[in-house]
Amino acid sequence: MRWEEWLPDGLHPTSRGSYAYAEAVIRYLEEELRRQPDEAWAAARVKAMARPLRPDHWGGAVALPLEAIRTRGPWTIRRWLHHAWIDQVLETAAVGAGLELDFDGRGIALGFDFGKASAEFRWRIDGGEWRTEERERPDWVGPDGWFRLSVLTESLAPGPHRLELEVIHGGRPDCAGTNFRLALAAAIR
């Protein structure tokens, strides 16, 4: 591979350069996993791990399948080829489109492909008061391409809950579009 294909500016790898680097890291990790001792050793190691520093840690968080989300309005699930850590997104560009999601836990976090062309949203849990999400869009952010996590709450009583969400336009100068691309929904337990 020529240098221009790897790091054309000497700092930022191209897609091909990132892929080549990722392949080396993956090979290393796969080799390390093959070297791991048997399951009994692994179980003893987990048991011997230190207790979490905080009792409200996210060790039990669970990603929820996008297919489990009930939608209202025009939505589609699309493969997302722009980030290795995002396989699919649940997407709409329609202001007023909504979704509902049942989850079991004490909180909910949502991850987005985000940028200046992203819509905002309002949400509520268990039929409560509507809240409006107003995410900052720094000058450096493009129209999309930033994986952004929104922790809606992590202080609910543990148990079953329902999230309702509606896409809105941000109505601010730095909110230049209505793209809504949900890449992750996670129940915090």
Q: 79 and 36, same structural domain?
A: no
Among 3-12, 99-108, 111-120, name the one with the lowest average pLDDT: 3-12
Quote the pTM value: 0.73
pLDDT band at 88 (very low <50, low <70, confident <90, very high): very high
Q: 34 and 120, same structural domain?
A: no
* Domain presence at residue 183: yes
Span 145-157, pLDDT tens digits = 899 999 999 999 9
Span 37-48, pLDDT tens digits = 666 666 666 666
The total number of structural domains that make up the chain: 2
Domain's final residue, options 48, 70, 85: 48
Q: 92 and 177, same structural domain?
A: yes
* Domain presence at residue 54: no
Domain that holds residue 32: 3-48
**Dihedral sign of CA atoms 21, 22, 26, 27 in order:** negative
Q: 70 and 94, same structural domain?
A: yes
Q: 31 and 97, same structural domain?
A: no
pLDDT at 41: 64
Q: 128 and 44, same structural domain?
A: no
The CATH number linked to 114 is 2.60.120.260
Residue type, 178: T
Q: In what order do the strands lie in the sheet with 70-72?
A: 70-72, 98-105, 159-168, 120-125, 131-133
Report the chain's mean pLDDT, rounded to a whole number: 88
Q: 75 and 39, same structural domain?
A: no
